[in-house]
A and B are shown apart, each in its own frame.
Chain A
């Protein structure tokens, strides 16, 4: 698909308007790769001059920092900042709230100052500007969709409305879980939990959250984070609901309605 790297653009003497930071999940995880592709489809459809770092991208260091390994985090951050500053990157969009949070809130102290937006915010802007046009009577019209707040978008960065605005544009019937927005329950993957087995307890966090989603009666659970995607999808499989209830990223829902 059409996703030029910054290096390719620079070779042609061009610079991207915006850098799409794909993130490790979006690059390697099979399910998250489909979200990456859906988002690229949208970027191409609205003719945004974007680029990716390709193989020059590396982990932001988020999981290392949250697990306590500050050295590793800063090694990652500094080398990423060298690459980004070397290309003169000004604006970054990412579909991963963890990358978003780290790039936006933690890179400035280490010399990386960029305008960083999450893809849900960009999608909302594109819809508001009329650049994304949905097909009339889209397939989501009247269907119940619930939105699972990612901690790193919501509480961590106060982004609660942009993803909901995007869902409203689908003409879907947005239903809220009993815990949402500031009291939204974590999927269980944050703080580097994605990379280890949970501590001993009496239940899995993603199962509790999946039950919250099931209680709404929605047929689609919208997520905006690759880790939430994994956790809620696993929860649905555990509940044997994976055939009835779709777990989709906002970018996929929009891409399907273009």
Chain B
């Protein structure tokens, strides 16, 4: 019986590892479709960003209630995964609670802590489900929150609730079996699951063992299944928030990335210096598709958990314009997934006749942005939708001359009168003569 369980466990683990590995490689390849600019500067500032913002959840705490509940889920995720380690070792060796004899009384403390977190995660998820589906917080129901993003969020919350219930059921039945079967090591009393003991105490030992085993298997398969699911869902932020905060922009938010290729041309036009153009095909100016964006913009899209804090602060979105910074990130991700899937099946990939600009994100959206940085400020994991918007605008302006007519007039005014308005340059200092 134990050997059978061990063999099944190895198979389960191998299957899960295969699928997770495949998805991780796909996501990495998708991110690497972006431009490969190196980000190696200021490692200590970057590390401190990651520790404060991702590990310390600093920016979450602008909204204290969801932040506290999210914090429980986050700590629960980190800590309960220690228990998964024991699950894996037990599963491979056919042991039961292998850490218990080594840790003694501390094992009981740990298990009680896990149970506390399991209950906290359970309650937080119930609260979050209520906020989404009953209270209908607007940012979870805006235009880009179509049926899949809404279902995705609910699936994650429900899965977490079921997984936490499995832990508590397992511990409750385990505590009863401990008094009847030597294979079950004494854990000491476990506070929260003890409340569930009355539901099980009249059952046969053999049935209890089946329930306990079922809950154990359910939990570990659930965790592994969830790990695979996460790679397809918006939930990847649990891993990618860390690199995303590390590689986030360090300059002042008002700074827009320079385009050295333009600098070269402008310098030679002004006769300042002539630098030989680099070899190879000159790239596009700005971004039309995902491969024109930087890899870290693409990673940011996978880091987005669609919380919508950006969109709920966006002045354009607040006044009914089509722009939604969250949609910019979701579209970027969807386009990556589409291209990735095509490449995987030998399809045309990027050359499928579609592009991020126009097929996913329209000019009406990008033209509505005031570059006010409210979205950048709002993001709890330092995603920068503005960088993508500006790259798309650059493509529209420089490759298509597709800017709004009034912007083209403004460009012309700057070229001819050196001001965005049509005034005579010689009148510039008239304010002095007063």
A and B bind: yes
Chain A contacts to B: CB under 8 angstroms: 1, 3, 5, 22, 24, 26-29, 33, 36-37, 52, 54-55, 57-59, 61, 63-72, 74-76, 78-79, 82, 101, 104-106, 109-110, 151-152, 155-158, 182-183, 185-186, 188-205, 208
22 A-B residue pairs with Cβ-Cβ distance under 8 Å, sorted by A, are A1-B432, A22-B431, A24-B419, A28-B419, A55-B428, A55-B429, A58-B418, A64-B414, A67-B407, A68-B403, A69-B394, A105-B251, A106-B256, A152-B254, A155-B377, A157-B254, A183-B378, A185-B318, A196-B404, A196-B406, A196-B407, A199-B316
The digit string for B323-361, where 1 denotes a CB below 8 A from any CB of A, is 100000000000000000000000000000000000000
Contact A78 B267 (CB under 8 A): yes
Contact A155 B253 (CB under 8 A): yes
Give B254-289 interface residues, CB cut-off 8 Å to A. Answer: 254-256, 258-259, 262-263, 265-267, 269-270, 272, 285-286
Roughly how many angstroms separate A79 CA and B364 CA in the complex, as a whole number?
32
For A153, the closest partner residue in chain B by CB is: B254
Contact A70 B262 (CB under 8 A): yes
Roughly how many angstroms separate A81 CA and B67 CA in the complex, as a whole number?
46
Q: A28-B427, A151-B373, A183-B374 are in contact. Are A201 and B316 (CB under 8 A)?
A: yes
Report chain A residues within 8 Å CB of B431: 22, 26-27, 33, 36-37
Report chain B residues within 8 Å CB of A82: 270
Roughly how many angstroms separate A105 CA and B253 CA in the complex, as a whole number?
9
Contact B390 A66 (CB under 8 A): yes
A24, A70, A151, A194 pick with most chain B CB within 10 angstroms: A70
Q: A155-B372, A186-B315 are in contact. Are A70 and B398 (CB under 8 A)?
A: yes
For A203, the closest partner residue in chain B by CB is: B319
Contact A109 B419 (CB under 8 A): no
Shortest Cβ distance from residue A204 to the other chain B in the assembled complex, whole angstroms: 7
Shortest Cβ distance from residue B312 to the other chain A in the assembled complex, whole angstroms: 10
Contact B419 A58 (CB under 8 A): yes
Roughly how many angstroms separate A74 CA and B376 CA in the complex, as a whole number?
25
Chain B contacts to A: CB under 8 angstroms: 251-256, 258-259, 262-263, 265-267, 269-270, 272, 285-286, 313, 315-316, 318-323, 364, 367-374, 376-378, 390, 392-398, 403-404, 406-407, 409-411, 414-415, 418-421, 423, 425-432, 434
Contact B266 A75 (CB under 8 A): yes
Report chain A residues within 8 Å CB of B323: 199
Shortest Cβ distance from residue A96 to the other chain B in the assembled complex, whole angstroms: 12
> Top 7 nearest A-B pairs by Cβ distance?
A156-B254, A191-B371, A202-B320, A68-B393, A68-B397, A58-B418, A201-B320
Contact B372 A151 (CB under 8 A): yes
Roughly how many angstroms separate A33 CA and B371 CA in the complex, as a whole number?
25
Roughly how many angstroms separate A72 CA and B259 CA in the complex, as a whole number?
12
Q: A33-B431, A54-B429, A66-B390 are in contact. Are A199 and B262 (CB under 8 A)?
A: no
Roughly how many angstroms separate A45 CA and B319 CA in the complex, as a whole number?
43
Roughly how many angstroms separate A76 CA and B410 CA in the complex, as a whole number?
13
Contact B318 A208 (CB under 8 A): yes
Contact A67 B414 (CB under 8 A): no
For A199, the closest partner residue in chain B by CB is: B368
Given contacts A24-B419, A68-B390, A190-B372, 5 further A-B contacts (CB under 8 A): A54-B428, A58-B425, A63-B410, A74-B266, A78-B266
Report chain A residues within 8 Å CB of B411: 64, 67, 69, 72
Roughly how many angstroms separate A41 CA and B392 CA in the complex, as a whole number?
43
Contact B272 A78 (CB under 8 A): yes
Report chain A residues within 8 Å CB of B377: 155, 182-183
Roughly how many angstroms separate A87 CA and B425 CA in the complex, as a whole number?
20
Q: A67-B393, A208-B318 are in contact. Are A105 and B255 (CB under 8 A)?
A: yes
Q: A67-B397, A70-B259, A195-B406 are in contact. Are A155 and B319 (CB under 8 A)?
A: no
Report chain B residues within 8 Å CB of A67: 393, 397, 403, 407, 410-411
Contact pick for A208, options B270, B319, B406, CB 8 Å: B319
Shortest Cβ distance from residue B395 to the other chain A in the assembled complex, whole angstroms: 7
Roughly how many angstroms separate A33 CA and B395 CA in the complex, as a whole number?
35
Contact B370 A191 (CB under 8 A): yes
Contact B254 A105 (CB under 8 A): yes
Report chain B residues within 8 Å CB of A192: 371, 407, 410
A71, A78, A202, A208 pick with most chain B CB within 10 angstroms: A71
Roughly how many angstroms separate A104 CA and B255 CA in the complex, as a whole number?
9
Shortest Cβ distance from residue B118 to the other chain A in the assembled complex, whole angstroms: 35
B367, B377, B431 pick with most chain A CB within 10 angstroms: B431
Contact A156 B253 (CB under 8 A): yes
Contact A59 B414 (CB under 8 A): yes
Shortest Cβ distance from residue B374 to the other chain A in the assembled complex, whole angstroms: 7
Report chain A residues within 8 Å CB of B371: 66, 151, 190-192
Report chain B residues within 8 Å CB of A199: 316, 321-323, 364, 367-368
For A190, the closest partner residue in chain B by CB is: B370
Contact pick for B370, options A75, A182, A188, A201, CB 8 Å: A188
Contact A106 B429 (CB under 8 A): no
Shortest Cβ distance from residue A234 to the other chain B in the assembled complex, whole angstroms: 15
Report chain B residues within 8 Å CB of A202: 319-320
Report chain B residues within 8 Å CB of A151: 370-374
Q: A36-B431, A106-B255, A183-B377 are in contact. Are A203 and B421 (CB under 8 A)?
A: no
Q: A58-B419, A61-B414, A64-B411 are in contact. Are A205 and B319 (CB under 8 A)?
A: yes
Contact A79 B315 (CB under 8 A): no
Report chain B residues within 8 Å CB of A197: 406
Contact A198 B368 (CB under 8 A): yes
Roughly how many angstroms separate A110 CA and B262 CA in the complex, as a whole number?
11
